[in-house]
Amino acid sequence: MKHSTVSLTEGPVTRGIILFALPMLLSNLFQQLYNSIDSAVVGQFAGDIALAAVGSTAALINLLIGFFLGIATGTGVLYAMHYGAGDYPGLKKICDAAYILSLAAAAFISAVGIIFAPNLLRLMDMPDDVLPQAVVYLRIFLIGTAPNLIYNVGAGMIRARGDSARPLVYLMISGILNLVLDLTFVAGLKLGAAGAALATIMAQTLSAVLVVRYMMRLPEDCRFRPTKMKLDKVAVTDVIRISVPCGLQGSMFNISNLLVQAKINSFGTVAMAGVAAYSKIDGFIYMPLSALSLAVSTYVGQNIGAGHYERVKKGVRVCLVLAVAVMITTASTIILCFEPVIQIFTREREAMDFARSMMLHLAPFVWIFAFSDILGGAMRGAGAAVPVTIISAVCICVFRILWLFVMLRLINGITTVFWCYPLSWTLSSAVMALYYFRCSAMRAAIKATVKA
């Protein structure tokens, strides 16, 4: 299988970014379908309690996935810088360090999560009728932590080489397997939420195998050799310095979302099912933004590595305009097509009403978040991961916690919970834009990178 790489350091900026981001957008589409298929099959064949079990664990699972994607983004930034500079021995050192650290993190996360799954879910006020299936689903999912990390970190490095199509193909293959196994385990064998989790980890394992197989076939000077991995101190330091803040930022939204989910759980199983259903639809709105955020990080990293500083700001502007335009379009489509789409997940009228309320409070405002994610992605690409993480921590995580703590005491309704999303997006985007434009963050990051 051959895939050509997209040059991000020369040629038309807009064309290069679109060609690079498009396969990642399709990858995000399949990733979201991956997750939505579980909920759709469970909702249709196992009922609202099983759907609530799968959906209510999403905040906890997304906390892990957000961390994994952040680690992958940070690793990809380093890989892109070395690739743009033509430092192929450095690529191998980054690859080895990233995988050794990832495997260690996966072992720790799996062990702790499996042991404490019931405790974590009870902290989220999980209803008694949902808890048993939720515990089983979460524990099985956590068994797949290692292949999940292996795929995401490997895909980040492959994209950093300018090849965003290959991870898409691997994800498509695993997505097809996930669908077949979902229907087999949930609809056929009646395994409920446990069957959906089994299908997911088996499909993720396949995608991880495909990524590692490709990395083992790279040119000799940067080839990944699992049996000969070595820890280089400089590479380990760089991976931790860039990837850990990116991972923490990737988790920030979901740390606050754990509290949000706990508050939603307090409104009962039907509310949980409705929110779980809309959350799967809502994920499709963010796909273009996620793709462009990853694209701008790689774009900035490669151009800084190649010394093409004049292209950096132009690329950021292009990504920002594309992100706002596409998010407005997708959100509008979801609003117009809500009724038939929500019925894919649930036909319970009260659950649909909760989903509709959430949609009306979130969808019209999602474009605001484009400023935070694109500008943050650009600064991560320049190596300024720590300031981006701090801004996200305060404006997303801390703000949402304070909002729920204060406002629910004044107005105890589920719409109060929903409002924390657009308000935190607005605050995060405003502060990120102020830091980027007023404080010359990109110039400072470029100078720091050059000096390093």
- Predicted TM-score (pTM) of the model is 0.67
Q: Do the beta carbons of residue 252 and residue 316 sit within 8 Å?
A: no
CB 25 within 8 A of CB 168: no
Q: Is the pLDDT of residue 450 over 50?
A: no
Sorted by sequence, the CB contacts under 8 Å of residue 313 that are 6+ apart come out as: 442
85, with CB counted inside 10 A (0-12, 13-18, 19+), is middle
Assess if residue 242 is contained within a domain.
Answer: yes
Tell me the C-alpha to C-alpha distance, in Å, between residue 290 and each of 28, 71, 208, 251, 407.
8, 15, 21, 14, 30
Tell me, yes or no, whether 185 lies in a domain: yes
Q: Is the pLDDT of residue 449 over 50?
A: no
Determine which helix (DSSP H) or strand (DSSP E) holds 394, and give its type and residue range: none
Determine the Cα–Cα distance for residues 215 and 20; give it in Å rounded to an integer: 19
Q: Would residue 302 count as lying in a domain?
A: yes
What are the helix (H) ranges across 124-223?
131-143, 145-160, 165-182, 192-215
User: Which tokens is 146 given?
Assistant: 């290692």
Assigned domain for 448 exists: no
State percent of the chain over pLDDT 90: 16
Tally the domains of the chain.
1
Q: Which residues contact 371 (CB under 8 A, 6 or more apart)?
A: 320, 324, 429, 430, 432, 433
Give yes or no for residue 423 having a pLDDT over 90.
yes
**pLDDT tops 80 at residue 141:** yes
Burial class (CB in 10 A: 0-12, 13-18, 19+), 44: middle
Q: How far apart are CA 267 and CA 421, in angstroms?
A: 18
pLDDT surpassing 60 at residue 2: no
Residue tagged 């921590």 (tokens): 393
Average pLDDT of span 150-165: 84
DSSP line for 347-391: --HHHHHHHHHHHHHHGGGGGGHHHHHHHHHHHHHTT-HHHHHHH
**Can you give the pLDDT at residue 365?**
94
Whether 235 is covered by a domain: the verdict is yes
Q: What is the pLDDT of residues 347-378, one digit of tens each?
A: 788 888 888 999 999 999 999 999 999 998 88
Report if residue 223 sits inside a domain: yes
Does a structural domain hold residue 382?
A: no
Confidence (pLDDT) at 315: 87
Six-digit token string for 336: 């117009």
- Say yes or no to pLDDT of 43 above 80: no
* Model pLDDT for residues 82-135, shown as the tens digit of each residue: 777 777 777 888 888 888 888 888 888 889 889 988 888 887 777 778 888 888
Q: Shortest CA distance to 56 belongs to which of 252, 251, 263?
A: 263
The pLDDT value recorded for residue 272 is: 81
Domain span at residue 197 reads 13-368
Per the prediction, the chain carries an average pLDDT of: 82
Q: Is residue 93 part of a domain?
A: yes
